[in-house]
Amino acid sequence: MQVQYWSTPESVPSQDQPDAAVVIDVLRATTTIGWALHNGATAIRVFSNLEALQQAAAKLPQHQRLMAGERGGQQLEGFDMGNSPVAMAPALVKGKEIFLSTTNGTRAVEKVQAIPWVATCSLNNLKAVAQKLAQLQGDQVWIVGSGWEGSYSLEDSLAAGGLLHTMAAGLGQEPQSHCGNDEMAAAAALWQVWKDNPETCLRLSTHGQRLQRLSNHDADFRCCGAVNSLGVVPMQSNPGVLCLLP
């Protein structure tokens, strides 16, 4: 299996299509998606366009849905919640569909939604996603980072490298044997530097610093930096819809 890493949705090649794609937004969209589904949300519907989100959400009775989202790290006005994984408590999300829009993460999911197999990953579910990937029949896999408005993100690259290492270790192979591009090799090297202290890496990243300037996000950093704290794999069931498939 050859794994290519694209650090932003904008860098994803438009002509090719792999067998599978894994989207990463460690801070914080794919961490939030994992916790929302783990805590009982029935589905996460992602939208880059806020009007489309509001129209789709309005079709469900209010007690069956939540609107969640942020721009620039701050909760959107009129929405039920922002994009914090620790806010996705069972009492709030159980049995609900979540309509989610974030600055970069949901755009990254939309970018790859035509690919037949799409999952989301964070540091929390590296092992669970690696196991699913290892069972795939496909040869070509993309890992897509969400970045920040077209720029590279340190934390997404860290998780991309962690995913490659975890998958290769599970197969008893060297990560290098699956590296499909230089971006993937660089991300794999980054994991070696920070794997014992990922939260420090998250806090050092540009978006980590943005969140720290906005307010106290210690609980989010602890949650987003916890490696393999979740066993779920959010999978795309329909374009733009993520859920836990049997």
Cβ nearer to ligand MLT, comparing 85 with 175:
85
Distance set, CA 81 to CA 46, 56, 69 (Å): 14, 17, 7
Q: Contact between 105 and ligand MLT (CB under 6 A)? A: yes
Cβ nearer to ligand MLT, comparing 146 with 229:
146
- Segment holding 70, helix H or strand E: strand 65-71
Within residues 33-62, the interface with ligand MLT by CB under 6 A covers none
From the DSSP assignment, how many helices (H) and strands (E) are in the chain? 10, 10
Cβ nearer to ligand MLT, comparing 7 with 102:
102
DSSP 208: H
Q: How far apart are alpha carbons 136 and 180 in whole angstroms?
A: 16
The half-sphere exposure of 19 on its side-chain side, counting CA atoms within 13 A, is 12
Which range, of 2-10, 15-23, 24-32, 194-202, touches ligand MLT by CB under 6 A? 24-32
Tokens of 68: 């969640």
Q: How far apart are alpha carbons 237 and 245 in whole angstroms?
A: 8
Query: Within a 10 A sphere around the Cβ of 186, how many other Cβ atoms?
Result: 15
Within residues 146-185, the interface with ligand MLT by CB under 6 A covers 146
- Judge residue 16's burial from the number of C-beta atoms within 10 Å of its C-beta, 0-12 exposed, 13-18 middle, 19 or more buried: exposed
Question: Binding residue for ligand MLT (CB under 6 A) from 1, 25, 35, 117?
Answer: 25
Smallest gap from Cβ 70 to ligand MLT, in A, equals 4
Smallest gap from Cβ 75 to ligand MLT, in A, equals 9
Cα torsion 215, 103, 84, 3: sign = negative
Residue nearest to ligand MLT (CB): 102
Smallest gap from Cβ 163 to ligand MLT, in A, equals 18
Cβ nearer to ligand MLT, comparing 8 with 168:
8
Q: Give the x-and-dash track for 62-101 against ligand MLT (CB under 6 A).
A: --------x--x---------x------------------
Which range, of 4-12, 26-34, 116-124, 127-135, touches ligand MLT by CB under 6 A? 26-34
Residue 112 identity: V
Residues at the contact surface with ligand MLT, assessed by CB under 6 A: 25, 27-29, 70, 73, 83, 102-105, 146
